[in-house]
Amino acid sequence: MLRWLLLLCLLSAPALAEEIDAEVYVAIQAATDAETAGDLGKAREALEQALPQAESGTLERALVAQRLAYLAIAAQRNAAAIDWLREALAQQQLDEAAALQDRQNLARLLMQAQRYPEAVTELESLPRTDSNRQLLVQAYRQLGQFRKAIPLAEQVVRANPQADDIWYRLLVGMNYELERFDQAVRWQQALLQRAPESADNWRQLASMQSLAGEQVAAAATLRLAREAGIRLDTTDLENLVALHAQSGAPWQAARLMQALLDEGLLSSSADRLRRLAYLWQTARDHERALAAWERVARSGNSADRLQLAWLQYQQRQWQAALDTLQTVQPANAQQRRQLHSLRLAAEAALPRPDGASSGAAGSPGQH
């Protein structure tokens, strides 16, 4: 049973006895007794038998439909409950308080059923209580109508800075969906100020800052978190880098990783330096990629030096490529073939002594 729904009729039994048809009143009482005894099937049967006596447009029809709606909710038959609530309201016979409660419950049922366009229609006509605003923002969000949802959520937090955290989380999430990362940072900072002991809040802020192009600030945020005693595992930091890489943002991933290394939050292991070099290379930041591979190659293996030589060749640094190849000691037949092919290509690309380039070399193939 849904706890947020009002299952009791808002009219008292004596008032019902005076205002409605006697047969319908008896049916409602029988349904109430059966429901109290836990026999929802019997309660439903009593009400359905009273439907012929409850004509359209009457209070009787409204009350029977209303009771059938709440029985359907108790039986977790929410689609039927939606239909019965709509029928009860369509009679326009319920008093204002009862009708308002039914409309609010109808909106919640529609939200639970993920019937968001219908839920929006109901919620837009309801009083703007905090709970109704929250549902309306969530419905707009589900429909992708962020430009409607965000101003409504901002109204709430401006009017009440102590509003529940859910409003700030909604603002972070919706601005993220719109790729308005600077605004997502703003609202995530508010969440962090509320709960600075939460590691998730620090991680989320760093993530939003990095997405906003503030990778240095993101690394500084994570350093501050550690200084504040927040436990952040190395895995947390590496996952943040991986998140950017997997989402198609290798440049942001590389810049964040570089900042984490510079801050000392990640140690400069050979594997991390190699990963950083690959990220710069994937991002087509050739200058940084070359610098990163040069650093790796100083203490790396033959595959690292071949990779550096290939990048140097791509950037038309043919002599540098040949110099790098001089340091390569092939570990297997494949590397020997790669070394031979790349050396021939670089030598052919070098200008001739008279200043003319041979232009005869083809690509040695990517490594």
pLDDT computed for residue 19 by the predictor: 67
Q: Is the pLDDT of residue 362 over 80?
A: no
Interval 173-222: pLDDT, tens: 999 999 999 999 999 999 999 999 999 999 999 999 988 989 989 999 99
**Averaged pLDDT score across all residues of the chain:** 85
In Å, how far from its chain's centre is CA 150?
A: 15
Over residues 78-82, the mean pLDDT reads 94
For the stretch 94-141, pLDDT in tens is: 899 999 999 999 999 999 999 999 999 999 999 988 889 989 999 999
- pLDDT value, residue 323: 87
State how far the alpha carbon of 261 is from the alpha carbons of 15, 210, 250, 280, 292, in Å: 75, 15, 16, 14, 13
CB 151 within 8 A of CB 183: no
| The domain over range 202-300 is classified in CATH as 1.25.40 | yes
- Confidence (pTM): 0.67
Are 139 and 124 in contact by the 8 Å Cβ rule? The answer is no
* Nearest one of 332, 355, 336, 353 to 344, comparing CA atoms: 336
Closest by Cα among 64, 114, 116, 118 to 87: 64
Percent of the chain with pLDDT over 70: 90
Q: Which CATH number fits domain 1-113: 3.40.50.80, 3.30.590.10, 1.20.120.530, 1.25.40.10?
A: 1.25.40.10
Strand partners, 357: 351
**Residue-level pLDDT at 16:** 52
Mean pLDDT along residues 2-31: 57
Tokens of residue 176, six digits? 């993220």
Residue 275 pLDDT level (bands cut at 50, 70, 90): very high
Of 320, 316, 319, 336, give the one whose Cα is nearest residue 328.
336
The pLDDT of residue 124 is: 94
CA torsion 129-165-109-21 (nearest 10°) is: -40
How far is 33 from 48, CA to CA, in rounded Å? Answer: 15
Nearest to residue 6, comparing CAs of 100, 121, 96? Answer: 100
pLDDT band at 8 (very low <50, low <70, confident <90, very high): very low
Report pLDDT for 363.
58
User: What per-residue confidence (pLDDT) applies to 37?
Assistant: 67
What pLDDT does residue 18 have?
A: 54
Residue ranges matching CATH 1.25.40.10 in the chain: 1-113
Question: Residue 357 in 3-state DSSP?
Answer: strand
